[in-house]
Amino acid sequence: MSDESIRINKDVLLAQNLQNNAIAQITVFAVSIRSQDQNVQIPALKGILDIVVNEPESVESLFDNNIIVDLNKIISSDQEGEVFVLSSAILHIVGVRSKSVDIVVRAKVATDSIIQIINSTNEKQSKAASKALCDLVEANEQIRNSLLTTGFIQVVLHTFTVNTQIQTKSSSSSQSTSNDNVIPGYVKVGLLNVILKLTEEEGGLESLGILIPILEEMKRNGEEQIKSKAKKILNQLNGEGIQSYSTLVNNEKEKDDQIKQLENTNKLQVKQLIRADEEKEQVKAENEGISTQLQRTTEEKERLRIELQRTTTFQTTSKQPQHLMEMEEMHIFKKEMKMAFQILLDNTKMHF
DSSP 179: G
pTM, rounded to two decimals: 0.57
Separation CA 18–CA 54 (nearest Å): 10
User: What is the pLDDT, as a whole number, of residue 281?
Assistant: 85
Q: Which residues of 291-318 are buried (b: 16+ CB within 10 A; e: fewer)?
A: eebeeebeeeeeebeeeeeebeeeeeee
pLDDT in tens, 206-238: 989 999 999 999 999 989 999 999 999 999 998
Separation CA 32–CA 83 (nearest Å): 12
User: What values do phi and psi take at 91, rounded to 5?
Assistant: -65, -35
Separation CA 334–CA 340 (nearest Å): 10
User: What is the pLDDT, as a whole number, of residue 315?
Assistant: 57
User: What is the pLDDT, as a whole number, of residue 163?
Assistant: 63
User: What is the pLDDT, as a whole number, of residue 5?
Assistant: 52
Task: Specify the 3-state DSSP secondary structure of 347.
Answer: helix
Residue segments in the chain with a per-residue pLDDT below the cut of 70: 1-20, 101, 163-181, 244-254, 256-257, 314-330, 333, 336, 340-341, 343-352
Cα–chain center distance at 169:
29
CA distances from 200 to 103, 111, 213, 224 (A): 22, 19, 20, 21
pLDDT in tens, 247-302: 555 666 667 667 778 888 788 888 888 888 888 888 888 888 888 888 888 888 78
- State the DSSP string of 70-106: HHHHHHHTT--THHHHHHHHHHHHHHHHT--S-HHHH
Task: Specify the 3-state DSSP secondary structure of 19.
Answer: helix
Closest CA to 90 of 137, 55, 119, 115: 55
Separation CA 111–CA 134 (nearest Å): 11
